[in-house]
């Protein structure tokens, strides 16, 4: 996603009571893990198990680097990257299938894929190329207590490199007065937050929160409009900006912190989600990218990429509102309302977590 990592992974706690609990949903009651097993026969559970079964014999396609940012299909390594990135949601399916069934075949497949990527991938610190790697962090948190120690050690090294490397880049930007306040920064911050919570590192979590709050203050206006909408004239970039910030806020929520709402009159992720709501419900419409200041947007429209011209499709916001619904109950009916009006499909794993009591 977009995505999250889960206390249903076994709800591991930090060894040191003074240290933040590891995992992104460490405060969710352990009963959630048990309830997942009860949902094995649900439509969402069956769907995930079916996908996992079909991929058990598939070989991982790990690359040293993925790169799609700023390129079009068939340019550079765009095609290879898109193919390799298919591994990441599959890993999430393996993790959930293991939690739903207890079948070790899925855990072994997850470990095989994780190991393949951790052994070859080099962090590029391009947040657009790496944003979907949140799924790798999510799947690790989902099953890490049952993974081999060697895999856990490799993953902890990967998380620390990602968190510290992205934070260092943000610090350098600010020191050079070249801060990025648009969607790139939102995606950086999501990866930092997930990695920091995944490590249970209090110092990194504190730095991640500071970066998150800074981004909200410079990216979101008092009325809820985001910088990206002004630059790109596209709701595509509103959801692309808000999804990573919402994932970060959800991780914080499960550790007892409210990053989603803000003080009255101050910018917040909740205000920005509210700004988008009338478009998601079809009460307002928008022609995409008509006045974008970024030439690449026009290039993508000319290349025929879906979503870079014409009217914005509300179904593209289903995932954002699924995430928001976990943070604020007032959004709980919104995903279904969008689906009824415009079609689309919710993320099965998020439906499962809500049913399990997240």
Task: Give which of 356, 284, 315, 317 is closest to 35, Cα–Cα.
Answer: 356
Give me the pLDDT at residue 95, please.
Answer: 92
At 168, which helix (H) or strand (E)? Answer: helix 149-175
* Lowest-confidence pick of 9-23, 141-155, 168-182: 9-23
Q: How far apart are CA 316 and CA 234, in angstroms?
A: 12
Task: Give which of 320, 329, 328 is closest to 347, Cα–Cα.
Answer: 320
CATH of the domain at 238: 1.50.10.100
Provide the β-strand partners of residue 226. Answer: 220
Using alpha carbons, list the distances in angstroms from residue 238 to 126, 136, 255, 272, 327. Answer: 20, 24, 26, 9, 18
Mean pLDDT across 6-20: 40
Domain that holds residue 195: 7-355
The three-class DSSP label of residue 226 is strand
Give the torsion through C-alpha atoms of 238, 350, 202, 143, to 10 deg: -140
Quote the radius of gyration of the chain (alpha carbons, Å): 19
Residue 118 lies in a domain: yes
pLDDT digits (tens, 9 = 90+) for 158-194: 999 999 999 999 999 888 877 789 999 999 999 999 9
pLDDT digits (tens, 9 = 90+) for 77-111: 999 999 999 999 999 999 999 999 999 999 999 99
Written as one string, the DSSP assignment of 234-277 is -HHHHHHHHHHHHHHHHHHHTTT---SS-STTS--HHHHHHHHH
Q: How far apart are CA 352 and CA 350, in angstroms?
A: 5
Residue 1 lies in a domain: no
Q: How far apart are CA 27 and CA 234, in angstroms?
A: 36
What the block records as the tokens of 307 is 């979503």
Mean pLDDT across 237-258: 94
At 198, which helix (H) or strand (E)? Answer: helix 183-199
**Does position 255 have pLDDT exceeding 50, yes or no?**
yes
Q: How far apart are CA 121 and CA 7, in angstroms?
A: 26
pLDDT digits (tens, 9 = 90+) for 279-298: 999 999 999 999 999 999 99
Residue 102 lies in a domain: yes
Residue 35 lies in a domain: yes
Number of separate domains in the chain = 1
Q: Grade residue 336 by pLDDT with cuts at 50, 70 and 90.
A: very high
Give me the pLDDT at residue 24, please.
Answer: 57
pLDDT digits (tens, 9 = 90+) for 298-326: 999 999 999 999 999 999 999 999 999 98
Q: Grade residue 240 by pLDDT with cuts at 50, 70 and 90.
A: very high
Residue 40 lies in a domain: yes
Residue 253 lies in a domain: yes
Residue 331 lies in a domain: yes
Residue 150 lies in a domain: yes
What the block records as the tokens of 159 is 């998380």
Residue with tokens 């949903």: 25
Could you tell me the pTM of the whole model? 0.92
């Amino acid at each position: 996603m977009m995505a999250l990592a889960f206390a249903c992974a076994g709800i591991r706690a930090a060894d040191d009571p003074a240290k933040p609990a590891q995992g992104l949903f460490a405060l969710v009651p352990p009963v959630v893990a048990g309830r997942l097993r009860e949902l094995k026969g649900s439509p969402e559970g069956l769907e995930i198990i079916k996908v996992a079964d079909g991929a058990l014999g598939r070989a991982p396609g790990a690359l040293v680097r993925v790169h799609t940012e700023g390129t079009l299909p068939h340019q550079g390594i765009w095609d290879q990257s898109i193919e390799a990135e298919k591994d990441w949601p599959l890993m999430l399916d393996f993790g959930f299938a293991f939690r739903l069934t207890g079948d070790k075949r899925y855990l072994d497949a997850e470990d095989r894929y994780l190991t393949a990527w951790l052994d070859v991938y080099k962090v590029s610190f391009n947040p657009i190329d790496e944003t979907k790697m949140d799924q790798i962090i999510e799947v690790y948190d989902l099953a890490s207590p049952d993974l081999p120690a060697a895999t856990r050690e490799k993953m902890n090294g990967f998380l620390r490199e990602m968190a510290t490397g992205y934070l260092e880049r943000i610090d350098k930007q600010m020191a050079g007065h070249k801060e990025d306040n648009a969607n790139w920064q939102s995606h950086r911050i999501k990866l930092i937050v997930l990695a920091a919570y995944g490590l249970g590192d209090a110092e990194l979590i504190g730095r991640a929160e500071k970066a998150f709050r800074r981004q909200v203050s410079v990216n979101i206006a008092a009325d809820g409009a985001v910088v990206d909408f002004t630059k790109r004239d596209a709701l595509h970039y509103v959801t692309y900006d808000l999804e990573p910030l919402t994932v970060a806020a959800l991780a914080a929520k499960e550790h007892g912190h409210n990053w989603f709402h803000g003080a009255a009159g101050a910018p917040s992720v909740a205000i920005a989600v509210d700004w988008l709501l009338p478009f998601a419900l079809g009460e307002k419409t928008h022609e995409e990218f008509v006045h974008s200041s970024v030439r690449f947007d026009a290039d993508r429209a000319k290349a025929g990429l879906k979503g870079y011209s014409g009217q914005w499709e509300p179904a593209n916001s289903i995932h954002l509102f699924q995430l928001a619904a976990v943070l604020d109950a007032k959004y709980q009916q919104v995903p279904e309302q969008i689906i009824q009006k415009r079609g689309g499909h919710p993320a099965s794993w998020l439906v499962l977590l809500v049913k399990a009591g997240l």
